[in-house]
Structure 1
């Protein structure tokens, strides 16, 4: 199958980024539930181990470091980055599959990935949104309340979050909009308007 010509399509991708604990997963889950036929979620590759009930091919494609390195060498990623000792990346094929379905591709990626996508030679200029916590203090509370990470991991996430938040407000950042998640409902409505404008949620088909 021939690769999709990204520049010829009107389905502008949407890149949503923000530190761990900013509420991306919660907001994206609701957005996809309200607009099930409009968006396709780009499933990333990672070398980290699955957590809890995570399934391969759903939350992530879980691969070995050797497999990941081969994909890099073969030019198989739109973006990739290393965080917390593990690799994460969005494959070209994952994006192509969504576009072939006539859906808007949504990418949930980290800061380095945002930089790579914004400078990619063939990927179209996406719409960029950054989801920010209201403060570092509140972010720390959220991360600790999850009780899924050890202290060292939490401190690393907080350090990375500070860097990401500073970048998002810099002249270098490509973000078209920054949404502060102080209130989840308000933040969701801002993200929804950014992604779909005034379009009403889709009606679910009942058999």
Structure 2
């Protein structure tokens, strides 16, 4: 339970999203809301993408928690981003990917990935690991766009042009474990819609 909370939420949003979006769109949590357990490390959250119609050769993944903490001139101290995985089981996995972690602040990160062959499929985009060690509760903005004021998560085509994907900002909550369990149980019926299990644990 401490290693990972809810992947059901992100998967259900991904499954129920429209396949006819005007631009590729990132989905995570429930309506872009992520719930984490308090005082727990290694909590993995999946970020999915759908609606890709133009082959992509790379990704810039930008993410920020709250005001970005001291590294960005803010005051927040968590939840801390401890790892970003753009390779394992993602849409890039079969393209001989190379990941570079450009910025690795506690509350703000930028990671990029380049592949040898272009990607034209929907699925898992990234897995982000959070730690709430030392935290009891709280609610924070979660940014994929406007990170550090001006950086936006985006895919790039074969000549390096951004695809202008929809990378919505959301909320990250630290909630007590009993509430997290109830939340997971309420969403468990969506598992019946799942055809290809992706890193789900409740």
Query: TM-score, structure 1 length as denominator?
Result: 0.30
Larger radius of gyration: 1
Higher strand proportion (structure 1 or 2): 2
Query: TM-score, structure 2 length as denominator?
Result: 0.30
